[in-house]
Amino acid sequence: MLPHRYCKFHFNTLRGCERSQCKFAHVPEQGDEKVCMDVFKKYISINELCLLQRAVNTFMDYYRKFPPGIHFDLQVLNDLLNSLLKHCLLKEVFQVVNLSIMVKMLPALKILLKIFEHVATMKLRNAVPALIDIFCKFVEAGMVFDPEHFNYIVKLLYQLQASQQEITAVLEMKSRLRMRQFKKNWKCDLDSALNEIEHCKEKGDWTKLGNLYINIKMGCENFADFQRFCACIAETLTKDCKEERPGVPFCEFAETVSKDPQISEVDKTLLGRIGISAMYFYHKLLLWSKGRKVLDKLYELKIHFTSLKGLTGPEKLAPRCQIVNIAAEIFLKSGSLDGAIWVLRESEWIISTPLWPCDRLDVLNRHNLLCTIAHEILAKSLYRQTFEVLQNLPGFQNSQETVEVSQYSLLFNKLLDACIESNSLGMSSSVAEFMISQNIPIDFSFLRRLITSLGRSCLWLKARAHYKMINGCLGVDIHIYSEMFCHLRPVRRLCLEKIFPPWFRNSSRALSGAEAVNALRPFYFAVHPDFFGQHPREREVNENSLKRLSVYLENLQKPGFKSLKPTQLTFYVRETEQNSSEGQEPFSTSGFRAVKFTLHTRDLLSTVLYILNSCSLSVEHIQSLNNNVHSQPLKEAKRMSDRPIKWDKSYYYFTGFRDPHEDLEQVSRMETTLTSWLDNNGKSAVKKLKNSLPLRKELDRLKDDLSHQLQLSDIRWQRSWGIAHRCSQLHSLGRLVQQNLEILKNAKGCTIIFTDRSGMSAVGHVMLGTMDVHHHWTKLFERLPSYFDLQRRLMLLEDQISYLLGGIQVVYIEELQPVLTLEEYYSLLDVFYNRLLKNRIPFHPRSLRGLQMILNSDRYAPSLHELGHFNIPTLCDPANLQWFILTKAQQARDNMKRKEELKVIENELIQASTKKFSLEKFYKEPSVSSKQMVDCCKRLLEQSLPYLQGMHLCISHFYSVMQDGDLCIPWNWKDGEAIK
């Protein structure tokens, strides 16, 4: 089907579009190559002269702009050229062939021979020069010709009475091909090449050595031999160095190799490894200037050497940390601070990781190197760069070496002092926050100076944040700062008065557990899961987040706790009177919004305030609580108990606040139990089910008839449409069968799924879009043979990926992955396969057999699913992927084993439940896991539920009676005893 944005007169009529200015496109846009191919096929099948010329114009306009993609069909190109030759459109033939050579999509050899035959038959002597030019381009592009082909072409040229010069040009191409083969045999002689290396070394001719590398690279077929050859070059470039010679052999050699127009990433990698060997050599001799020239050349050629290793000597086994240390030291010793920092950034400051382990000596060297760099940069007042260097000292990364970071206190305090002295308040704040977060001892005199400076600059919120950080994270008693407050100078006192509200400045004790629960009642009322019955995903998120919040609050109240890990929480907050004011984040149409925040507090009061402010809920009731408690003298306040405050109802009447006790009672009254819900809805479900029985029988009859007629494997629906809707869709398909039975028989053995769009799914099911008309469905059934061919290619691609990854099975799980068409899934696999080919991962063959993986395009890090399969991102780093799969393989096998065991238990419980309650049908939604289903069935079997006899029961995430009488209940339903 032609997309709406294209001109239907131009593409679908013989006369074409006659408008002078048409608002619709006459040339397919980028990404619509499939439309292009379909248009060419149609024009070729019609075989009209004007349409073929239009096809040529479309071909030229499209492929001049966009390169060929996955939908490019070489057979279509050959058919188009054949049709043009039949209509004697030789000019158009030459245009298409020249462009196809430019985009590196060569037509078949037989097409070229047919062009020669056509020119000879028509005796078109004037076309010979253009024909010779095309022939030479074919040879240069890599097309292979046999001697018989050359003889046949020369014979045709003699028939055309071509000049001797033109015939000589063809014979020269034949000689050139022979010479290329001869050179290939000669260049593969490794012994001759090694002798030539010695000759270059004696004469000091490093340019000739570079040319020798290029020649050997073009001819050598054994990569192991080529690596041996490169190792000899590395040894030659680092032997018998004489300091008085100003030149650097590696630089001359690399410059020559880089001028090769066919230089590849493999060449750059080998140059990088040779350069590392040269760098080690000059570092050993303390020749810093020559080592610097090697590094400058690698930078100039854009070679990322920090992830490579040397070719010879100790650098061949050197860890990444050591290589980066040596490169940074060379830059530092040669006077380039920027170069040293560039190397460290290029390596992402990596010290020691499981993939790049290093020795303790390398870690110590990195520590000394960074400290030296930090001192030199700080002396130049470059505070941001100094902070970056200090943040990457050993101990702050996920390093295998355990380093006590408190030893860096002197360095960080020195940086903090310098930042405050220069009034760099933003950088000072960042340094202070980092020190507190990493438990690095901080000089409190510097911190007081920072807060004072922030106050003088009217940065009250920032100063308040630092004060909270001191009180919350370092465990400093607020009485110390209250005493300090009294002795501060007027400016500092004004600063603190601006920073803190009176109720916070006057507070002298923390909230108790009971007070914290009371203070959070508006929050609990806004996020309680029972108010999200019709939104199962949001309900589950709130349930899990409330559990984690409860654990966090309990840990805060434990005596003697030191620190808590930051806890990130997500809640869906209902619209209430408190949070519906203007200026807040808008609510969704469902009446709730998502709120994310991270808890990193150390007392209940700051935790409660942070939660309420994050959810845009009022904190006035906490202020009232504090004012009430602390308005009494200090001695009286100490005698007060920590009991929760329960205000009289008149308080809520006059202030307008909501009574949290009343809200909680309302929530309890609204709690739904399975028995009460069945009592209220059982009769209506029975009535709906009884009314739907005739339609259900009709649906079964239609499915059986169509499955038998078309020999289908199954007919399914992707969405939960009603029975009447499904019957109408089958009637529509039945009418199409009566009109085009032979075409629809292409679907033999397939599964048909009624969904939102037409096409073939990633698993090979025929998808019929319910919004499409019969014409679209017919076109789909006509294209099924080509889809089957693509499906076979897809299965082959899956096998190839499986082979590269040690036998792991590539699967597509419909319940867990987004709905993809066959073309989309093939493109996803193709991208992943090409990445694997570029970065081969050394898995042992068949070592991962029995494991499964799925591909995801919306993730960036691999993960292991609880069902046992790996979630692999399409753009995943192959090295990280190898490490992740190998470390998680046994866990994956255990998960798969548990999944199978759980599936058996689930099926047994479903059968037992169906039998006990005499259910007509018992099933679950795909989003309900086997573990949840098992838990639900076990609890159901303990109940007596007469209402379920003869019913259709679906386990879901919420209560509902479907329009055809199916009962939906949540898997975590509650009974009366649980509520009590």
Each residue's pLDDT tens digit, 36-48: 888 889 888 888 8
Which tokens go with 861? 């890090």
Residue 860 has pLDDT above 70, yes or no: no
Q: Among 571, 615, 612, which Cα is nearest to 594's?
A: 571
Residue 663 has pLDDT above 70, yes or no: no
What's residue 667's pLDDT? 46
What's residue 811's pLDDT? 92
Query: Could you report how far apart the first and last alpha carbons of the chain are, in Å?
Result: 62
Q: Among 305, 293, 308, which Cα is nearest to 346's?
A: 305
3-state secondary structure of 743: helix
Mean pLDDT within 65-88: 87
* Phi, then psi, of 671 in degrees rounded to 5: -60, 130
Mean pLDDT within 380-405: 79
Rounded CA-CA distance 700/678 in Å is 28
Distances (CA, A) of 454 to 317, 428, 429, 446, 480: 52, 10, 9, 12, 21
Report which residue type is found at 830.
D
Percent of the chain with pLDDT over 70: 82
Listed in sequence order, the residues at least 6 apart from 916 whose beta carbon sits closer than 8 Å to its beta carbon are 941
Give the other-Cβ count within 10 Å of 655's Cβ.
12
* Phi, then psi, of 821 in degrees rounded to 5: -80, 170
Rounded CA-CA distance 215/194 in Å is 13
Give the other-Cβ count within 10 Å of 415's Cβ.
22
Rounded CA-CA distance 781/801 in Å is 30
Q: Among 407, 409, 408, 430, which Cα is nearest to 419's?
A: 430
Q: Which residues pair with 856 in a beta bridge?
A: 873
Report which residue type is found at 955.
I
Confidence of residue 907 (pLDDT cuts 50, 70, 90): very high
Give the other-Cβ count within 10 Å of 144's Cβ.
9
For residues 321 and 307, is the Cβ–Cβ distance under 8 A?
no
Residue 752 has pLDDT above 90, yes or no: yes
- Beta strands 714-717 and 567-574: pairing type? unpaired
Each residue's pLDDT tens digit, 206-265: 888 888 888 777 766 566 777 778 888 888 887 755 545 667 888 888 888 888 877 888
Listed in sequence order, the residues at least 6 apart from 763 whose beta carbon sits closer than 8 Å to its beta carbon are 812, 814
Number of H helices, E strands in the chain: 43, 14
Each residue's pLDDT tens digit, 475-494: 333 433 443 443 344 444 44
Contacts of residues 20-25 at CB distance under 8 Å and 24 or more positions apart, as own/partner, are: none
Q: How confident is the prediction for the chain on average, in pLDDT?
A: 79
Residue 509 has pLDDT above 80, yes or no: no
Place of tokens 């592009």: 141
3-state secondary structure of 144: coil
Rounded CA-CA distance 800/792 in Å is 12
Residue 285 has pLDDT above 70, yes or no: yes
Q: Cα 976 to the chain's mean position, in Å?
A: 45
Each residue's pLDDT tens digit, 132-149: 888 888 877 777 777 788
Q: What is the CA radius of gyration of the chain?
A: 38
Each residue's pLDDT tens digit, 924-965: 888 788 889 999 999 999 888 887 889 999 998 778 888 888
Q: Among 516, 796, 459, 533, which Cα is nearest to 642's?
A: 516
Determine which of 19-23, 533-537, 552-556, 812-816 has the lowest per-residue pLDDT on average.
533-537
Residue 891, classified by CB atoms within 10 Å of its CB into exposed (0-12), middle (13-18) or buried (19+), is exposed
Q: Kindly state the DSSP code that residue 47 receives in the 8-state scheme.
A: T
What's residue 908's pLDDT? 92
For residues 712 and 750, is the Cβ–Cβ distance under 8 A?
yes
What's residue 582's pLDDT? 41
What sections of 259-309 are H helices per DSSP? 265-284, 288-300
For residues 774 and 759, is the Cβ–Cβ distance under 8 A?
no
Each residue's pLDDT tens digit, 150-190: 888 888 888 888 888 888 888 777 766 665 554 444 444 56
For residues 971 and 957, is the Cβ–Cβ distance under 8 A?
yes
Tell me the CB-side half-sphere exposure of residue 580, using CA atoms within 13 A. Answer: 8
Which tokens go with 869? 């399969």
For residues 611 and 523, is the Cβ–Cβ distance under 8 A?
yes
For residues 352 and 321, is the Cβ–Cβ distance under 8 A?
yes
Percent of the chain with pLDDT over 90: 8
Q: Cα 148 to the chain's mean position, in Å?
A: 53
Mean pLDDT within 51-72: 87
What's residue 659's pLDDT? 60
Place of tokens 């509520």: 979
Determine which of 71-80, 150-159, 221-230, 341-350 has the lowest per-residue pLDDT on average.
221-230
Mean pLDDT within 432-449: 82
Mean pLDDT within 373-385: 89
Rounded CA-CA distance 611/573 in Å is 12
Confidence of residue 559 (pLDDT cuts 50, 70, 90): low
Contacts of residues 638-641 at CB distance under 8 Å and 24 or more positions apart, as own/partner, are: none
Residue 129 has pLDDT above 70, yes or no: yes
Residue 642 has pLDDT above 50, yes or no: no
3-state secondary structure of 751: strand
Each residue's pLDDT tens digit, 21-34: 888 888 888 888 88
Q: H or E segment at 953?
A: strand 952-956
Residue 846 has pLDDT above 70, yes or no: yes
Tell me the CB-side half-sphere exposure of residue 778, using CA atoms within 13 A. Answer: 12
Rounded CA-CA distance 917/940 in Å is 9
Residue 832 has pLDDT above 80, yes or no: yes
What's residue 810's pLDDT? 92
What's residue 398's pLDDT? 59
